[in-house]
Amino acid sequence: MEAQAARAGSRGSHWRHALESRRVLAILLIAPAVVFMVLVVGVPFVWAIYLSFTDAIGGSLSGNWVGFDNFASAWQDDNFRRALRNTFIFTLGSQAIVLVGAAVLSNFLVRDFRGKWIVRFLVVLPWAAPVVLSTITWLWLFDSLYSVANWTLARLHLDNALVWLLGAVNLEEGAQVPLQWLGRPNLALLAITVVHAWRILPFAVVIFIAGRASIPTEVEDASKIDGATGVKKLWYVDIPLQLPIALVAVLFGIVFTAADFGVVYILTHGGPFNATQVLPTWAYAIGIDSGSLGEGAAISLFLFPLLVVVSIGMLFFARRAQVS
């Protein structure tokens, strides 16, 4: 009996020591995340690759092998090329707005002033609010008849000036008051870009504030002694020191934006006349609405090389920021 109890105790001690081992514990802790990613991301992604080489249609998850015909057919489509161009404009334009806005807001929000936490809450709110709810609100703001944006511009006497500016930069020929934000191609593209930038701006602001917190106080004191304040301090001190972290924010933003579906679909459904289609919405229109699963999967995979390059850059700069 004593020998059996000793063997049972040794087995229990062995398992206890095994669970306390760093190697075993690391595997147990990361296993749920790996299983989740494989089931939710890996399996659909591999299936999409398979479908892109077939003529699968709606209602069937298989089809005849057609090779690269779906990719060639998509590339020859004018609507696809317009969606690809819009994806780059939508992504780069929104990230430019986010980068400038986050730099300015973070510089303001680190200061001490009355109501600081309320302002911070309002800045973070667009990121925390459900995308459908916030985008429907913008849909009302850009309404063709009851647009709050047009009403505000009219009360500030800026509507005619904006129309003149839009005509000066050839953004929209024949623009007139009231502006049809979602009814004219270029204005609609501008609208979805601004709305998406508004949504992801809080994420970049939080990263910028964290980056500012990592700046040594000696640097802040030296910049004050040298007389660097306001824009000069932001340009010559803050931005260079925050550049690695800022690049991480931009790279994350590119991934979020290039794969975004909700904002464009809710605001314009890709219209008017497919003028605001981006690759995710065009893939949905072809693969789901039209029932051509194979071609829709091929369209969605055109984003993959771009996102791979961005993801590699994101990991590189994240490691660099952590080391620094």
Q: Which of 267, 276, 284 is nearest to 134 (CA)?
A: 267
Contacting residues for 261 by C-beta, under 8 A, at least 6 apart: 280, 281, 284
Amino acid of residue 141: L
Q: Looking at residue 102, what is its pLDDT?
A: 87
Contacting residues for 235 by C-beta, under 8 A, at least 6 apart: none
Q: Looking at residue 94, what is its pLDDT?
A: 92
Spell out the alpha helix ranges (H) of the chain.
2-20, 22-37, 43-52, 69-75, 78-109, 116-128, 131-141, 148-155, 159-168, 185-213, 217-225, 230-233, 239-258, 262-267, 279-284, 293-301, 304-323
Q: Looking at residue 176, what is its pLDDT?
A: 59
Using DSSP's 3-state secondary structure scheme, residue 24 falls into helix
Contacting residues for 248 by C-beta, under 8 A, at least 6 apart: 207, 314, 317, 318, 321
Q: Which of 255, 274, 254 is nearest to 264 (CA)?
A: 274
Using DSSP's 3-state secondary structure scheme, residue 111 falls into coil
Q: Looking at residue 268, what is its pLDDT?
A: 92
Could you give the count of Cα atoms lying within 13 Å of 110 in the half-sphere of its Cβ?
19
Q: Looking at residue 321, what is its pLDDT?
A: 55
Q: Which of 274, 100, 162, 314 is nearest to 322 (CA)?
A: 314
Per-10-residue mean pLDDT, the chain, length 324: 50 59 76 88 88 86 86 92 93 90 83 82 85 88 82 77 60 61 86 92 87 72 68 71 77 84 91 90 91 90 82 70 50
Fold of 75-144+180-323: MetI-like fold (1.10.3720)
Q: Where are the domains of the chain?
A: 1-52, 75-144+180-323
Other Cβ atoms less than 10 A from the Cβ of 164: the count is 10
Are the CB atoms for 87 and 278 separated by under 8 Å? yes
Q: Looking at residue 18, what is its pLDDT?
A: 61
**Burial (Cβ within 10 Å: 0-12, 13-18, ≥19) of residue 207:** buried
Q: How far apart are CA 274 and CA 281, in angstroms?
A: 10
Q: Looking at residue 5, what is its pLDDT?
A: 47
Other Cβ atoms less than 10 A from the Cβ of 105: the count is 19
Q: Looking at residue 207, what is its pLDDT?
A: 86
Using DSSP's 3-state secondary structure scheme, residue 113 falls into coil
Q: How far apart are CA 237 and CA 223, in angstroms?
A: 8
